Chain A
Amino acid sequence: MGRPIFFVSEAFRALRRSAAPSIAAIVTIVVTTLLLGVLVPVLKASEDKAQDVRDQIGLNVFLFNDASREEIDQLGAELEVIPHVEGVDFVSRTEAIDILAGRVEGELSNSLSELNSNPLPPSFSLDIDDPANLGAVSAAVTRTGPAGDRQPISPVVDEVRDARQDASKITRVTGAVKFILIVLAVLLLLASLMLVGNTIRLSIYARRREVEVMRLVGATNWFIRWPFMIEGVIVGLTGALIAVGILWLGKVTVVDPLSDNLNLVDSLSTMGFLPLVIILVSSAMIVSALGSGITLRRFLRV
């Protein structure tokens, strides 16, 4: 009953009496957690961005300006029955210019309004279930004739344009970026785990005589181990909390102001700060406590 209190007070006594190793352990945990705290949202953001790109991949069917309402409706119906097509959106000429106006800003949008006539054609925008089926859908829209000439399914179709080349380029680049980031993250994690393990080992090694004495006066292994594990939890918690504090400062002072202007940084906030904090704090505590417990095993052999 008095045991847990005894173990906790033992842990605090050890922290007090060996301040230098304890501080070293805390600093290591802070650095590791900081690295994790930066890498995890960046990975998440790059993954989100790649998904975004994949979602945007579709097919645009541009029409001649003189296409009649009837012809457009008929083409729309024909497009909808093509396999793998999930949605068909008609973009009129005025809608097209609005979308363009929304994408460009500043002087360019002013010059847009200075245009006398609308240079944009009407178009159909097709959503496709998977980027891999892009080719099949494209072929269905523009059949190849017997003489090798290309025949669109409707005479009003001017041009079929798919973002295939763009898409594959983008997925390849984001894939490479993601791969590099994951490799970096794994390497950093590995290095920092070893660093944490080493720091813990050092602080326990400094006290191996103490552990030996405890064993010789008849302390059971768990009696010796509990204070060390609790010490590990305290070190982990302290380190993680400091790291979270630094991360929060960084978020408030650097990331948040930037995300108002930059599109990419904005996706950083797709990762909630609270789940990130929970993940970081609990993993730091577990690693630190288990590290202490496992390292101690070497000194506990009877």
Chain B
Amino acid sequence: MALTRSRSTRSRARGQADAQKRYEARTGSPAPMPPIVALKDATVVYPGGHVALERVSIEVMRGEFAFVVGPTGCGKSTLIKLLIREVEPASGEVEIAGHDINGMPASRVPKLRRRIGTVFQDFKLLPNRTVYDNVAYALQVIGESRSEIRRKTPEIIRLVGLQSKIHNYPDQLSGGEQQRVSIARAFVNHPPLLLADEPTGNLDPETSIGIMQLLYRINRTGTTVLVVTHDREMVDKMRRRVIALEDGRLVRDEVSGGYHDESTREFAARLHRELEVEPSTGVNDILDW
């Protein structure tokens, strides 16, 4: 039963590739890329019968910056787990870049996760490793050479502004700093998709802006960024696409207009102004281009 299912989904994925080739042959122009994230009627039921997501359909295109909002327990974190196949849907489909991730064999899941950077709500740093080693681990996992690791790791740590804490352990860092290590680790491979689960949860407004600025900057390099948050105010000021969930159901999905071409500096200045937070000399100076 399971076998036939996975075979049929795999052939469907192949069929999709064929369809793209046919499209290219017919029109002479490259086929439109499939959305990087596509949920089709995805339903997640946890053991015990709790329905975390119910028939949710979302498409996120490459290069987008989108927020997923909603009250606690609405299924936001489940959505992230669904996208990295930490949970599997009871029904419906989850596609990443056109591939049905639940049809793929379990042995391919690590490869999928390497192509998706994930920033976890609880950071999920390795407690007995320094900042450097935590970030380097993501590179070691993909089999990066030592010289590349030595080159890339300090670079990304500098990008998140933690070069002075590079040899500290996670328990010697503040929440915001740990969050930034988590972002550095998620982004060090330059994945096409970055998921962030409450990246500004429990952080002061100033640090939150710094984190958002960092994510915005990553988005401007072409990476699709999906941020799960309950920070309504921040979301409103960011003026980006907002996907709202309530009780596991999709209740709103709208794209706010404007401000798409502002620079990171303009972006930060606007956020400071609109959130009425005094810009301080600190993280944001480091974060400037």
Contact with B along A196-220 (1 / 0, CB 8 A): 0000000000000110111111111
At the interface, yes or no: A13 with Cβ under 8 Å from chain B? yes
B113 x A218 contact (CB < 8 A) = yes
- For window 85-140 of chain B, which residues contact chain A by CB distance below 8 Å? 85-86, 106-107, 109-114, 118, 120, 124-128, 137-138, 140
At the interface, yes or no: B141 with Cβ under 8 Å from chain A? yes
* Residue on A nearest B142 in the bound complex, by CB: A218
B110 x A218 contact (CB < 8 A) = yes
* Residue on A nearest B111 in the bound complex, by CB: A218
How far is the CB of A59 from the nearest CB of chain B, in Å? 71
A220 x B110 contact (CB < 8 A) = yes
How far is the CB of B263 from the nearest CB of chain A, in Å? 31
How far is the CB of A207 from the nearest CB of chain B, in Å? 9
**Residues on the A chain within 8 Å of B85, using CB:** 302
**Residues on the A chain within 8 Å of B128, using CB:** 13-14, 17-18, 210
How far is the CB of B190 from the nearest CB of chain A, in Å? 14
**Residues on the A chain within 8 Å of B86, using CB:** 216
* Residue on A nearest B128 in the bound complex, by CB: A17
At the interface, yes or no: B185 with Cβ under 8 Å from chain A? yes
Interface centre among A2, A13, A17, A18 (most CB of B within 10 A): A2
**Measured CA separation A216–B142 after assembly (Å):** 13
How far is the CB of A298 from the nearest CB of chain B, in Å? 15
At the interface, yes or no: B145 with Cβ under 8 Å from chain A? yes
Size class of the B contact interface (CB-based, 8 Å): 20 to 34
At the interface, yes or no: B194 with Cβ under 8 Å from chain A? no
At the interface, yes or no: A64 with Cβ under 8 Å from chain B? no
B114 x A218 contact (CB < 8 A) = yes
At the interface, yes or no: B84 with Cβ under 8 Å from chain A? yes
* Given known A17-B128, A302-B109, contact A214–B145 (CB-CB < 8 A): no
**Residues on the A chain within 8 Å of B107, using CB:** 220
* Given known A216-B84, A216-B113, A217-B185, contact A6–B124 (CB-CB < 8 A): no
How far is the CB of B127 from the nearest CB of chain A, in Å? 7
**Measured CA separation A213–B133 after assembly (Å):** 13
**Measured CA separation A219–B120 after assembly (Å):** 16
Partner of A217, one of B106, B113, B143: B113
**Measured CA separation A100–B142 after assembly (Å):** 80
How far is the CB of A9 from the nearest CB of chain B, in Å? 11
**Measured CA separation A302–B109 after assembly (Å):** 8
**Residues on the B chain within 8 Å of A213, using CB:** 124-126
A216 x B141 contact (CB < 8 A) = no
* Given known A302-B85, A302-B109, contact A2–B124 (CB-CB < 8 A): no
**Residues on the B chain within 8 Å of A14, using CB:** 128
How far is the CB of A206 from the nearest CB of chain B, in Å? 11
**Measured CA separation A217–B183 after assembly (Å):** 12
Contact with A along B63-92 (1 / 0, CB 8 A): 000000000000000000000111000000
* Residue on A nearest B125 in the bound complex, by CB: A213
**Measured CA separation A209–B125 after assembly (Å):** 9
**Measured CA separation A166–B143 after assembly (Å):** 72
**Measured CA separation A217–B145 after assembly (Å):** 18
25 interchain pairs, CB-CB under 8 A: A2-B146, A3-B143, A6-B140, A13-B128, A209-B124, A209-B127, A210-B127, A210-B128, A213-B126, A214-B126, A214-B141, A216-B84, A216-B113, A217-B118, A217-B138, A218-B110, A218-B112, A218-B113, A218-B114, A218-B138, A218-B141, A219-B110, A219-B137, A219-B141, A220-B141
Name the 4 nearest CB pairs between A and B, nearest first.
A218-B113, A218-B114, A17-B128, A220-B110
Additional A-B contact list (20), CB under 8 Å, known A210-B128, A220-B107: A13-B128, A17-B128, A18-B128, A209-B127, A213-B124, A214-B141, A215-B113, A216-B120, A216-B124, A217-B114, A217-B118, A217-B137, A218-B111, A218-B112, A218-B141, A219-B137, A221-B110, A223-B110, A302-B85, A302-B109
A residues sitting closer than 8 Å to B (CB atoms) are 2-3, 6, 13-14, 17-18, 209-210, 212-221, 223, 302
B residues sitting closer than 8 Å to A (CB atoms) are 84-86, 106-107, 109-114, 118, 120, 124-128, 137-138, 140-143, 145-146, 185
